[in-house]
């Protein structure tokens, strides 16, 4: 099957009137269609449902219902597992060309309504236009990239040429794949994980986050409309604590693909590793991407304009609710005073409000629970650290948290060591790049990190020593792009990630080596 | 004194994108005359600056290292770290097989105690000197005598305030105050200045001797084209008082054009302000069109339309554009079509089309040609002549420290010449300095070809639409 070379979906260019209008129109259209209810499995729009439903709300305006989904029970989960197990037989045997073609069609489907998908994200999770657009583009990129990756990996490879024997290596689907997705990239990550599972020939149970089920329903709707068989995917929105363990523990589950907190990720890994149930076919494979505690070093010779911009964007983009977000800014003592003063002044000029209007740089956090958790973390931090800035002008409605900047002296500080996942930044003074790297590595995570420096030897040092999956030099530390920046970390940040890179799909498959003796009665065929 | 006129050749206003052959002939003649009248001196008097450009044209990697070094040096605070960086930037990179011996030598000498301090001081001084080639002064006080000296030589000025990116309200307030005091104080002082008719009259009458170039991005922080209306509202509320003051003090205000990302925003802002009744009748506002942008000819047509509706002329400064690398990188990283022409020739040709359109629309709108390219300028002069426009119908603008030999030739022709004079400290001036270095070292730079490469004049004056090669 001939595929054009991979190209990233172009972002909207908000410097252009046409592109701004596209977004405004999409927001308008999406608004007029809010409030629908989507069913289990195929995410069809229901006029009524006898089941319990879950309403998803706009975090800027919690009285606005974005839509509802039927809530899966334990029984529903078992039914989904049964269907996917049965479906696996056929889906595995569906030609790889057909699977690739479906994924390409899915990308086309997404492209045709990309602005509506983005607009829905603005409503459902409070992303601003640019962040929502990037999320949608990333989802499209995952489809196109994995389609091409699968095309590459589906070529059976001759391992070594030897006379009288044909030796090949090929990759085969694992079986039933459970996808447990986060709300922070409600479209891109969900799509990436589900499509990786499907294109490699696994049947997939798609469990969207409770905070973003309507975006999830959008993906399921796409799968249905472009013709993925009902027996290959199952849209299963539900409460993580209830159905998560059922899905993870079931002997029919072959692999679990998870993105979320380290706590949940570790317990998934633990349950998956438990001694197999007699009915279980093998050891479960887990892919888990589990957050970060990311640091950025500002060296004495950094271009401070650039560094300031990069740090601001990395710390407060989408309210710091990215696994890649900056939460520890390590500033060289020689530029500390100048830089920190400018930085804090700059954060002061940020305005908080609903991302429906593009003038606000800081939107709401995802839900009331997150809001309360982050607010109390801030209160806790105040007991030990100096507050350099805490925004006082935050909308009373909605789940807003004031952007907050602390000055940290003790690297053992709880907020310095543990993920906050909100618009909270700690700044710490360092004496050298070496000290910066040592502090950066002092946490249990290793996801993203970076340095602003104009010294090649310092850059080389950081390149070699900083413990991160994605290192960014003289640029912001968020915003990984498919193929260009394969994304994922190690230590507590994850196992087997690197989404959007050449190593990702292999994990969804079992490699098989076949050696065939081609010698019959002394002659080789 | 009667206003001088371009020699009237024939009255035809048919716009022909294929320049009529008579105009092409005149372009060549005028171009030759300008070259003949120019001092054929070395590019710049500064030895180290010449050395830098010379080295940087030898190998792209050398250029990268040298420019990066110029970029970082002023940011460093102490001599130890300057020495450290000098060694790093001047020594041969591991991957390079060839490296200029002079750089390796300096890098080794920096490791010799005693010599290192002297070398650091020399480098520091030389980068400072280099910046002084392009930056008029560190502040208005230092710049003012130089501006007056320019006027005495028959050259007008426009003042540009160099600035770092504005990140906070206090920073934008600083620039607002600076602009306000410049407009007010220079406006007052100018009343006592001696009039210089060659530069103080345009074809439409007297023009202010004080001319300020304004960067809208300096006047508010977190400006974002995505938040179009909000950004415009903020900027408008800050710029209008400046414009009001400028009218009161009889000062010319020109909106500079920066990155493509701010193009629509800057245009819309300018339109909204100029359409308001209180600003409607003031002629001394201007805005930039960058001919390297693919949209620029359409923008020119739109500006002519706008000027016609407004009923009072304003000025378009037509430049090629100085953010080419940046625009291409942005477009590439975001998977966008580049907003700029990829070939220098295309920009040059488009510059001529825009020149045509603007001169044809005279006097609804006035043209200031910002270019160091003699071919582009000669073309504009030939077109003006062809259309029978007064000699001062168009203005020529050139940057401080660039193309000085041409400036004299143009003044001798009796043309209205304005110098773009950046003022500011070294650090905020760096991105400006690096843009100039890039411009002067680019292989397709007209100035480099004219003065360093000694390309033949005929070759330099060749029409950008010329087919062949």
In this prediction, residue B19 has a pLDDT band, given cuts at 50, 70 and 90, of low
Q: Is A417 exposed, middle or buried (0-12, 13-18, 19+ CB in 10 A)?
A: middle
Chain B positions touching A10 (Cβ under 8 A) are 334-336
* pLDDT of B5 above 70: no
**What is the pLDDT at residue A203?**
98
DSSP labels, B155-207: -EEEEEE--PPP-SHHHHHHHHHHHHHHHHHHHHHHTTSPP-HHHHEETTEE-
Interchain proximity B169–A334, CB inside 8 Å: no
Residue of chain B whose Cα is closest to the Cα of A130: B226
Residue of chain B whose Cα is closest to the Cα of A9: B335
**What is the pLDDT at residue B44?**
52
Minimum-distance CB partner of A345 among B168, B228, B231: B168
In a mutational test of the A interface, the residue from B335, B425, B432 whose CB has the highest number of chain A CBs within 10 Å is B335
Contacts (Cβ under 8 Å, ≥6 apart) of B452: B43, B53, B54, B57
For the ranges A157-171, B57-71, B441-455, the one whose mean pLDDT is highest: A157-171
**What is the pLDDT at residue B65?**
86
Average pLDDT, chain B: 90
Residue of chain B whose Cα is closest to the Cα of A357: B227
Greater pLDDT, A56 or B62: A56
Distance from the B225 Cα atom to the nearest Cα atom in chain A, whole angstroms: 5
Greater pLDDT, A219 or B48: A219
CB A425 within 8 A of CB A405: yes
**What is the pLDDT at residue B7?**
53
CB A339 within 8 A of CB A307: yes
**What is the pLDDT at residue B110?**
87
User: Looking at A131, A138, A289, A419, which residue is catalytic?
Assistant: A289
Q: What is the mean pLDDT of residues A3-14?
A: 97
**What is the pLDDT at residue B115?**
86
Minimum-distance CB partner of B75 among A301, A346, A358: A301
CA atoms of A427 and B415, how far apart (whole Å): 57
Interchain proximity A358–B224, CB inside 8 Å: yes
pLDDT above 90 coverage of chain A, percent? 96
CB pairs under 8 A between A and B: 101
Interchain proximity B169–A10, CB inside 8 Å: no
Q: Is B146 exposed, middle or buried (0-12, 13-18, 19+ CB in 10 A)?
A: middle
User: Looking at A137, A143, A177, A323, which residue is catalytic?
Assistant: A323
Minimum-distance CB partner of A454 among B72, B221, B334: B72
Contacts (Cβ under 8 Å, ≥6 apart) of B45: none
Give the pLDDT confidence of A389-442 residue by residue, as tens digits: 999 999 999 999 999 999 999 999 999 999 999 999 999 999 999 999 999 999
In this prediction, residue B6 has a pLDDT band, given cuts at 50, 70 and 90, of low
* pLDDT of B302 above 50: yes
Contacts (Cβ under 8 Å, ≥6 apart) of A269: A286, A288, A495
Distance from the B267 Cα atom to the nearest Cα atom in chain A, whole angstroms: 12
* pLDDT of A356 above 80: yes
Interchain proximity B76–A300, CB inside 8 Å: yes
**What is the pLDDT at residue A286?**
97
- Where do the H-state alpha helices sit in B276-363? 277-280, 296-310, 324-333, 344-361
pLDDT above 70 coverage of chain B, percent? 93
* pLDDT of B42 above 70: no
Q: Is A417 in a helix, a strand, or coil?
A: helix
**What is the pLDDT at residue B11?**
43
DSSP labels, A274-305: SPPPTT--SPPEEEEE----EEEEE-TTS-HH
Residue A143 bears catalytic tag: no
* pLDDT of B127 above 60: yes
* pLDDT of B381 above 70: yes
Name the residue with tokens 């990233």.
A8
In a mutational test of the A interface, the residue from B64, B167, B257, B337 whose CB has the highest number of chain A CBs within 10 Å is B167
Query: Which two structure tokens, joined as six digits, stand for B234?
Result: 């903020």
CB A146 within 8 A of CB A199: yes
List C-alpha distances in Å: A170 to A149, A157, A514, A515.
14, 6, 8, 11
* pLDDT of B468 above 70: no
Contacts (Cβ under 8 Å, ≥6 apart) of B354: B289, B291, B296, B297, B300, B318
Chain B positions touching A456 (Cβ under 8 A) are 88, 93
How far from chain centre, in Å, is Cα A463?
A: 24
* pLDDT of A181 above 80: yes
Query: Which two structure tokens, joined as six digits, stand for A419?
Result: 């993920």
Q: What is the mean pLDDT of residues A233-243?
A: 97
Q: What is the mean pLDDT of residues A200-207?
A: 98
Chain A positions touching B221 (Cβ under 8 A) are 346, 349
Interchain proximity A346–B167, CB inside 8 Å: yes
Lowest-pLDDT choice from B30-34, B97-101, B175-179: B97-101
Residue of chain B whose Cα is closest to the Cα of A457: B88
**What is the pLDDT at residue B12?**
44
Q: What is the mean pLDDT of residues B101-112?
A: 85
* pLDDT of B140 above 70: yes
Q: Which residues of A touch B (CB under 8 A)?
A: 7-11, 13-17, 20, 128-130, 300-305, 308-309, 312, 334, 342-343, 345-346, 348-350, 357-359, 361, 454-457
In this prediction, residue B122 has a pLDDT band, given cuts at 50, 70 and 90, of confident
* pLDDT of A6 above 50: yes
* pLDDT of B68 above 70: yes
Give the pLDDT confidence of B304-323 residue by residue, as tens digits: 999 999 999 999 999 999 99
Greater pLDDT, B164 or A223: A223
**What is the pLDDT at residue A164?**
94
Residue A225 bears catalytic tag: no
CA atoms of B94 and B432, how far apart (whole Å): 30
Average pLDDT, chain A: 97
Greater pLDDT, A464 or B129: A464
- Where do the H-state alpha helices sit in B201-335? 228-249, 263-275, 277-280, 296-310, 324-333
Lowest-pLDDT choice from A296-305, A391-400, B12-21: B12-21
Distance from the B266 Cα atom to the nearest Cα atom in chain A, whole angstroms: 11
Interchain proximity B171–A345, CB inside 8 Å: yes
Q: What is the mean pLDDT of residues B279-284?
A: 98
Contacts (Cβ under 8 Å, ≥6 apart) of B351: B291, B318, B320, B371, B373, B376, B464
Give the pLDDT confidence of A248-297 residue by residue, as tens digits: 999 999 999 999 999 999 999 999 999 888 888 899 999 999 999 999 99
Q: What is the mean pLDDT of residues B434-438?
A: 84
Q: What is the mean pLDDT of residues A198-217?
A: 98
* pLDDT of B3 above 60: no
């Amino acid at each position: 099957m001939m595929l054009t070379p991979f190209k990233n979906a172009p972002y909207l260019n908000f410097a252009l009137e046409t592109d701004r209008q596209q977004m405004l129109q999409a927001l308008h259209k999406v608004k007029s269609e809010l409030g629908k209810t989507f069913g289990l499995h195929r995410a069809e729009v229901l006029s009524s449902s006898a089941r319990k439903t879950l309403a998803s709300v706009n975090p800027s305006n919690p009285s606005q219902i974005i839509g509802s989904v039927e809530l899966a029970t334990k029984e529903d989960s078992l039914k989904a597992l049964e269907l996917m197990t049965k479906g696996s037989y056929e889906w595995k045997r569906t030609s790889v060309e057909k699977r690739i073609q479906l994924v390409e069609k899915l990308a086309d489907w997404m492209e045709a309504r990309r602005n509506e998908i983005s607009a829905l994200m603005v409503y459902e999770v409070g992303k601003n236009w640019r962040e929502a657009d990037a999320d949608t583009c990333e989802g499209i990129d995952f489809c196109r990239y994995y389609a091409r990756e699968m095309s590459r990996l589906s070529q059976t490879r001759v391992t070594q040429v030897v006379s009288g024997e044909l030796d090949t290596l090929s990759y085969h689907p694992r079986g039933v794949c459970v996808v447990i997705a986060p709300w922070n990239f409600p479209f891109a990550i969900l799509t990436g994980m589900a499509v990786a599972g499907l294109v490699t020939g696994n049947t997939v149970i798609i469990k969207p986050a409770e905070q973003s089920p309507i975006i999830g329903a959008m993906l399921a709707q796409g799968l249905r409309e472009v013709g993925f068989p009902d027996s290959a995917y199952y849209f299963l929105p539900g409460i993580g604590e209830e159905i998560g363990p059922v899905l993870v523990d079931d002997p029919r589950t072959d692999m679990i693909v998870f993105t979320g907190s380290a706590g949940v990720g570790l317990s998934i890994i633990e349950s998956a590793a438990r001694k197999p149930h007699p009915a279980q076919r093998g050891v479960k494979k887990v892919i888990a991407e589990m957050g970060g505690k990311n640091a950025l070093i500002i060296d004495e010779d950094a271009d401070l304009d650039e560094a300031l911009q990069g740090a601001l964007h990395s710390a407060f983009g989408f309210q710091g609710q990215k696994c890649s977000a900056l939460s520890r800014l390590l500033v060289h003592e020689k530029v500390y005073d100048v830089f920190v003063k400018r930085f804090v002044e700059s954060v002061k000029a940020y305005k908080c409000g609903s991302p429906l209007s593009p003038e606000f740089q800081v939107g709401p956090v995802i839900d009331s629970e997150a809001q309360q958790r982050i607010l109390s973390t801030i209160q806790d931090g105040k007991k030990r650290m100096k507050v350099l800035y805490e925004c006082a002008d935050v909308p009373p409605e909605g789940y807003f948290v004031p952007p907050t900047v602390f000055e940290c002296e003790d690297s053992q500080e709880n907020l310095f060591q543990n993920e906050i996942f909100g618009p909270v930044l700690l700044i710490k003074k360092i004496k050298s790049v070496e000290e910066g790297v040592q502090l950066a590595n002092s946490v249990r995570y290793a996801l993203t990190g970076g340095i602003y420096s104009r010294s090649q030897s310092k850059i080389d040092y950081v390149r070699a020593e900083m413990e991160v999956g994605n290192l960014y030099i003289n640029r912001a530390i968020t915003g990984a792009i498919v193929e260009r920046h394969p994304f994922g970390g190690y230590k507590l940040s994850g196992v087997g990630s690197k989404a959007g890179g050449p190593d990702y799909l292999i994990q969804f498959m079992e490699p098989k080596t076949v050696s065939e003796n081609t010698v019959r009665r002394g002659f080789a065929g | 004194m009667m206003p001088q006129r371009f020699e009237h050749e024939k009255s035809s206003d048919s716009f022909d994108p294929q320049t009529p052959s008579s105009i092409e002939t005149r372009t060549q003649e005028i171009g030759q005359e300008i070259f003949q009248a120019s001092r054929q001196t070395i590019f710049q008097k500064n030895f180290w600056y010449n050395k830098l450009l010379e080295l940087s044209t030898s190998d792209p990697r050398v250029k990268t290292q040298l420019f990066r070094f110029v970029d970082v040096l002023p940011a460093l605070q102490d001599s130890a770290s300057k020495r450290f960086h000098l060694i790093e930037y001047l020594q041969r990179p591991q991957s390079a097989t060839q490296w200029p011996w002079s750089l390796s030598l300096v890098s080794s000498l920096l490791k010799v105690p005693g010599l290192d301090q002297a070398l650091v001081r020399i480098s520091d001084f030389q980068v400072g000197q280099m910046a002084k080639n392009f930056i008029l002064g560190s502040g208005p006080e230092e710049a003012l005598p130089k501006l007056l000296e320019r006027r005495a030589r028959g050259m007008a000025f426009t003042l540009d305030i160099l600035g770092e990116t504005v990140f906070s309200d206090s920073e934008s307030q600083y620039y607002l105050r600076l602009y306000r005091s410049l407009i007010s104080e220079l406006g007052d002082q100018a009343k006592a200045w001696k009039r210089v008719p060659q530069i103080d009259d345009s074809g439409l009458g007297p023009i202010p001797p004080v001319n300020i170039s304004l960067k809208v991005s300096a006047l508010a922080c977190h400006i974002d084209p995505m938040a179009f209306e909000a950004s415009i509202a903020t900027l408008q509320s800050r710029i209008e008082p400046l414009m009001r003051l400028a009218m009161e003090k009889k000062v010319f205000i020109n909106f500079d054009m920066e990155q493509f990302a701010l193009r629509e925003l800057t245009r819309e802002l300018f339109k909204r302000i100029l359409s308001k009744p209180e600003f409607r009748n003031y002629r001394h506002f201007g805005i930039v069109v960058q001919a390297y942008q693919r949209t620029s000819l359409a923008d020119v047509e739109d500006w002519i339309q706008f000027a016609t509706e407004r009923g009072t002329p304003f000025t378009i400064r037509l430049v090629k554009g100085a953010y080419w690398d940046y625009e291409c990188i942005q477009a590439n990283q975001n998977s966008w079509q580049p907003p700029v022409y990829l070939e220098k020739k295309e920009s040059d040709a488009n510059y001529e089309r825009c020149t045509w359109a603007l001169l044809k629309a005279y006097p609804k709108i006035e043209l200031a040609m910002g270019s160091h390219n003699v071919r582009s300028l000669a073309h504009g002069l030939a077109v003006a002549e062809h259309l029978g426009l007064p000699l001062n119908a168009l203005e020529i603008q050139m940057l401080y420290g660039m193309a000085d030999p041409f400036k004299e030739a143009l003044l001798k022709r009796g043309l209205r010449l304005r110098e773009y004079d950046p003022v500011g400290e070294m650090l905020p001036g760096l991105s400006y300095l690096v843009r100039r270095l890039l411009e002067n070292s680019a292989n397709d730079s007209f100035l480099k070809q004219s003065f360093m490469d000694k390309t033949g004049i005929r070759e330099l004056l060749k029409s950008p639409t010329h087919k062949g090669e």
